[in-house]
Amino acid sequence: MAPGMKNIVILISGEGSNMAAIVGAAQRDGWGERLDARVAAVISNKAAARGLVFARGQGIATEVVEHTAHPTREAFDAALAAEIDRHAPALVVLAGFMRILTPEFVARYAGRLLNIHPSLLPAFPGLHTHQRAIEAGCRVAGATVHQVTAELDHGPILAQAVVPLLPHDTPDALAARVRTQEHLIYPRAIARFLSKP
């Protein structure tokens, strides 16, 4: 590992399209030279997460820490932290990581833990955000990049993107429109975060 290199560890649970967008931006925008930063590892709580295939194809270290293999949330988070810490991360990035984290885990990575959430926080924390935005009659929807704090889907906002909510939108159509924006704002927010002294 190059001295002073800032390692980014990305946590996923599924598709990993945000992770792929971050990896792509890191390559395209030369994060290695510009920011002394690199994506060091991608960790999933599910072995079948499709994003792992992409990450491996990019030559990025991948790990699986199955939540089902651990009896408690605390035990899972401890095993996850042990895996993360092997990479001495400057930044831990949640990218579609669908597990609620313990306060101990959040405290361990305080100030270096980011998340993307598919709503305009503080509206619609939690699950089924697109369905809920449609049902509420919202005219806009979007996504939020934020620092993770102990309270789920709260914490200082780093970036947001707004998309229109169209008259006959379905949750899937809206999710796809939001996701396209997520892929733009998450890499940018990370680059900005890493470039701060």
Catalytic residues: 117
Strands 37-44 and 61-64: parallel
Residue 3 beta carbon to ligand GAR: minimum distance, rounded to whole angstroms: 31
Q: Cβ distance 118 to 143 under 8 Å?
A: yes
Neighbours of 175 (CB within 10 A): 18
Residues in the interface with ligand GAR (CB under 6 A) total 14
Choices 9-17, 104-112, 159-167, 188-196 (CB under 6 A): range interacting with ligand GAR: 9-17
Q: Cβ distance 45 to 97 under 8 Å?
A: yes
Neighbours of 164 (CB within 10 A): 13
Q: Is 95 in the site for ligand GAR (CB under 6 A)?
A: yes
Choices 40-48, 59-67, 106-114, 116-124 (CB under 6 A): range interacting with ligand GAR: 116-124
The pair phi, psi for residue 35, each rounded to 5°, is: -120, 0
Q: Is 179 in the site for ligand GAR (CB under 6 A)?
A: yes
Q: Name which of 46, 147, 44, 157 is nearest 91 in CA terms.
A: 147
Q: Is 181 in the site for ligand GAR (CB under 6 A)?
A: no
Q: Is 142 in the site for ligand GAR (CB under 6 A)?
A: no
Q: Is 12 in the site for ligand GAR (CB under 6 A)?
A: yes
Q: Is 89 in the site for ligand GAR (CB under 6 A)?
A: no
Say whether 193 sits in a helix, a strand or coil. Answer: helix
Position closest to ligand GAR via CB? 96
Q: Cβ distance 84 to 42 under 8 Å?
A: no
Q: Is 63 in the site for ligand GAR (CB under 6 A)?
A: no
Q: Which residues bind ligand GAR (CB under 6 A)?
A: 12, 14-18, 95-96, 116-118, 143, 179, 182
